[in-house]
Amino acid sequence: MTRSAAGFDTVSIRALTKDYGAMKALDGVSLDVREGEFVSLLGPSGSGKTTLLNILGGFDRPTSGRVFFGSTDVTLLQPHLRNIGMVFQNYALFPHMTVEGNIAYPLRARNVESAEIARRVADALTLVELAGYQTRRIGQLSGGQKQRVALARALVFDPKLILLDEPLSALDKQLRESMQIELRQLHAKLGATMIYVTHDQREALTMSDRIAVMRSGRIEQLGTPTELYNFPRNDFVASFVGESTLVPLQRSEGGSVSLGTSRLRTGRPVPQDGPIALAVHAEKLILDSPGGGEDWNRFDGSVSDVIYQGESVKISIRLDDGTSVGLRQHCHHRSMSSLPQIGSRVQVALHVQDTILVPCDAESVPQALAA
């Protein structure tokens, strides 16, 4: 990657579009990624994540728009001239080659001499905690080990930018979670810029400096994990990040909003025009209604479901206005001994600062959207 005049490498994505016939896989995406940053592209299947990553890697060309590394326009530059490491969604390892053969591949392509190749392969294997695995065949490796080899191959030539397309999605939950932590540590150690594709909101929250939430080829919101979680810009982001329920609200006179017959208090600005919804994070809703005060919204309803999940319990509540909300409560001795029965009447409370109002799509009828 070339250095910009300012002395650092920003990846600048400018108004990218990608059309497949009438289908817009990308529809005007702009994004700046700072040197050394870990940015995730988070969105459902088909939202354009892989298309964007492939254009950054040079494996695909946009219909319009530009990509800059620093001040250099790389939009049409061949992949091998970009100095980018890439981990593809399906590993894309060469199955007939050894671990060493796979990792050495990008070095051979760059005409690195063989003693240097052996040294760098050994270093890369140490980084991904596979020291000594040089002569193993790909077919002899577990899913997690293959993933590490793919990672080692992406890092071995010391790229300044590493692109990762759902690298952990094939792994089981436990391995995925430990690899998330390892990848974060690796990112800190290497200092390389990483752009990471995932459809898993928890993974994005765990790993990222910033997250770009994508839908239908557009970035719906760009922000830090806490910004996205606490200040979602619309119903889509609110439903996609965290475990939340969207409840449609009514506007009443004087700019206030209400849920059924109860007027809502909020510590936040009310969205201007159009339909609005309340985004309720399951863990922010309190069952043991805290003492009086103006700081809480209270809703009456009845328990429709109780699901025990070990460390926590998920309780579904049908509110008296007919909408449903999900509540999650951590399990400890006291909470377990007072769990409500299905059908029992309850009151739940939501702090005004946790009362998140979002504009919502008129077409989509917001309903219990647990992530």
**Residues within the interface to Mg ion (CB under 5 A):** 50
**How far is the C-alpha of 258 from the C-alpha of 249, rounded, in Å?**
6
Query: Please, which residue, 42 or 152, has the CB nearer to ligand ADP?
Result: 42
Residue with Cβ nearer Mg ion (50 or 316): 50
* 25 in contact with ligand ADP (CB under 6 A): yes
Q: Which of 29, 10, 11, 9 is nearest to 19 (CA)?
A: 29
Burial of 359 (0-12, 13-18, 19+ CB in 10 A): middle
Residue 65 interacts with ligand ADP (CB under 6 A)?
no
Comparing CB distances to Mg ion, the nearer of 40 and 50 is: 50
Helix (H) or strand (E) holding 19: strand 11-20
As to burial, measured by CB atoms within 10 angstroms (0-12 exposed, 13-18 middle, 19+ buried), residue 293 is exposed
Q: With contacts defined by CB under 6 A, how many residues of the chain interact with ligand ADP?
A: 11
**Alpha carbon 127 to chain centroid, angstroms:** 25
Q: How far is the CB of 165 from ligand ADP (least distance, A)?
A: 7
Of Mg ion, ligand ADP, none, which one does residue 242 interact with (CB within 5 to 8 Å by kind)? none
In the complex with Mg ion, the residue whose CB is nearer, 147 or 245, is: 147
* Interface with ligand ADP, residue 23, by CB under 6 A: yes
Candidates 49, 146, 187, 281; binder of ligand ADP (CB under 6 A) is 49
Residue 43 sits in the site that holds ligand ADP (CB under 6 A): yes
The closest residue (CB) to Mg ion is 50
22 lies in the binding site for ligand ADP (CB under 6 A): no
CA angle 251, 252, 253 (to 5 degrees): 135
Among 28, 46, 144, 359, binds ligand ADP (CB under 6 A): 46
Among 47, 198, 208, 355, binds ligand ADP (CB under 6 A): 47
Residue with tokens 């294997």: 125
Q: Candidates 45-53, 203-211, 288-296, 309-317: pick the segment binding ligand ADP (CB under 6 A).
A: 45-53
User: Minimum distance between the CB of residue 199 and Mg ion, rounded to whole angstroms?
Assistant: 8
Q: How many CB atoms lie within 10 A of CB 92?
A: 12
Taking the least distance from each CB to Mg ion, the nearer of 163 and 313 is 163
Nearest-angstrom CA–CA distance, 306 and 315: 5
Shortest distance in whole angstroms from residue 60 CB to ligand ADP: 8
Question: Smallest Cα–Cα separation from 300: which of 284, 317, 285?
Answer: 317
Task: For residue 144, give both structure tokens.
Answer: 């997690």
Q: Is 347 left (phi over 0), alpha (psi -120 to 50) or beta?
A: beta
Q: How far is the CB of 49 from ligand ADP (least distance, A)?
A: 3
* 102 binds ligand ADP, rule: CB under 6 A: no
Cα three-residue angle 154-158-160, rounded to 5 degrees: 90
| CB atoms closer than 10 angstroms to residue 149 | 24
- Residue numbers of the site for ligand ADP (CB under 6 A)? 20, 23, 25, 43, 45-51
